[in-house]
Structure 1
Amino acid sequence: MAKNQGIIRLRGSIDGVTYTEGVNGKLSRSRSSLNKAKMDSNPKFHNLRMAQEELSSYSKYGALLRSGIRSELAMIKPYMGTRRLNKILNALKNEDLIHRLGQRTVASGLTTPKGLGMLHYFDFYGKKNVNQLVTKEFVVDFAVGEALIRNFNPLYDLIAPRHATHVGFKAIYMGLDFDRLMVSSERSDQVYLPLEDVAADLSLKTTDLPSITENTFFLVQVVFYKELNGFRELEAVDEAALTIIALKA
């Protein structure tokens, strides 16, 4: 792959070369002579075929995980969301110490302490995470579906953007069944607070528990608002967070 730094802007394919433009600049890619028939019939490509099987598996896992927070992802556009998540899931499936090459899975990788740590504090929006915005730690109770901070003061326990007047907190408790490609998500009501010097317990409790109890993820969303004359607008979306703060295999 090559980068095109010239002033001519090309898009599409010409003579087997495809021109695209994205966050990494203008790119050109030539078509490979390798096709599926060659790869399937040649034993030299055995490891590549196995790697592609695993790529398909962890990509589907990432898609299933994102599907459980579809409304939150529609609220704020993630920064390189799929690419960042798949990079971690690729490394995570390498922690699968049970299956052979081509059959390793994210779910098995999550059964190891190192695997769990890879997704801990992953943020789907990609610019901040909850741990960078909130100076106190959430205590998560999976049994009741609650994330709690005692004596939370928005003015002192939160790093808020300059022009925001309010902050919104919400919890998402999610379970994944990869074998059946099913996800179950439960949410708390949004806690909407003015950025004032008032301390109180911050409790984010989901309305119910997810029906799927394996591969469970607890996320917290933090978004900022500017309120004027009773109307609220999202403020400083680059400072928003949608973070996995706790998970269990």
Structure 2
Amino acid sequence: MAKQKSFLKVAGTLDGLTFYKSVDGHLVRTKGGVSKSRIMNDPAYIRTRENIAEFGNTAQSGKLLRNAIGTMLNRAKDPRMSSRMMGVLSKVRQLDASSSRGERVVSEGISTSSGKQLLKGFDFNNRAALQAVFHAPFNLDTATGVITIADFVPLDQLQIPEGASHVSFRSAFINLDFTNGTFDTQYSPIVNRVLDMNSTTITLTPVAIPSGSGTQLHLLLIEFFQEVNGLQYPLRNGAFNVLNLIDIV
């Protein structure tokens, strides 16, 4: 593929060329390839059809996970988050040892300890990874979803972006059933703190234990704000915010 250099950016198809916009800018590629009918019916393309089927399942699982996280995801994500997640979930799907090729699913892969380990620690905003921003020990009770950050000193234990005056913490406890496509998400109240050297203990308690069964997900959201005339404003639309899948059971 090639990049459009002209000041006039075109979108659409013209003379066998397809012009489109992506996160990498305005691009152009040639139109063509094997017809859909041949791919779906020709025995020579059986491997391709298997790949399409598995890709579709992975895409559905990724969408389900994003929907389960809900509004927290809008607060901390990078432009390539969905494609990065697809890459991880594809590896999880490949751990399905009970299904034939073309029928492997994320729900089977995530049931393995290796599958959980692949997804654990996923940063939804790669511009602000948890380990790079947050330097305080914390405890997670996976039975209740309660996260405790004892003796937390903001200026000592955070990588703070320029201009920030406050930080907030919030957690999510999710029961996600990849097989049935259902989930229940319970959030903790937001805990907001001024960025200073005072020590405090932060406790994030979900309002309830999520119902249902499946895979348990525990997420931590860290947001930075700047206070102006008594009001707190997000910094650069959340570019410095952290959202991390801290554990999966």
What TM-score bracket applies, with the shorter chain setting the length?
A: over 0.9
Query: Which residue in 2 is equivalent to 1:149?
Result: 149
Contact 2:76 2:243 in 1 (8 A): no
Q: Which runs of 5+ in 1 are unaligned?
A: none
2:120 corresponds to which residue? Answer: 120
Paired residue for 1:168?
168
2:10 aligns with 10
Size of the aligned set, in residue pairs, is 248
1:24-63 equivalence runs, <5 A: 24-63=24-63
CA distance in 1, matches of 2:224, 2:154: 12
Assess if the C-alpha contact under 8 Å between 1:54 and 1:104 holds in 2. yes
Q: Is the 8 A contact 1:79 1:126 kept in 2?
A: no
Counterpart residue number, 1:189: 189
Q: Find the aligned partners of 1:241 and 1:69 in 2 and give their Cα distance.
A: 14
**Where in structure 2 are the equivalents of 1:121-136 lying within 5 Å?**
121-136=121-136
How many Å separate the matches in 2 of 1:100 and 1:136?
44
CA distance in 2, matches of 1:72, 1:102: 33
SS in structure 2 of the partner of residue 111 of structure 1? coil
Percent identity (aligned): 26
Mapped partners of 1:76, 1:135: distance in 2? 18
What's the counterpart of residue 104 of structure 1? 104
Tell me how far apart the structure 2 counterparts of residues 123 and 42 of structure 1 sit (CA, whole Å).
41
State the shift of 1:199 in Å.
1.1
Which 5+ residue runs of structure 2 have no aligned equivalent? none
Post-superposition offset of 1:212: 2.4
Q: In structure 2, what is the Cα distance between the partners aligned to 1:109 and 1:179?
A: 11
Distance 1:44 1:137, change over 3 A: farther
Given that 1:227 and 1:233 are in contact with CA atoms closer than 8 Å, whether structure 2 keeps it comes out as: yes
Contact 2:175–2:183, Cα closer than 8 Å, also in 1:
yes
Partner of 2:198: 198
Q: Deviations over 1:21-62 (max 9, x none)?
A: 222132112333423321122111111101111101010000
TM-score (norm 2): 0.92
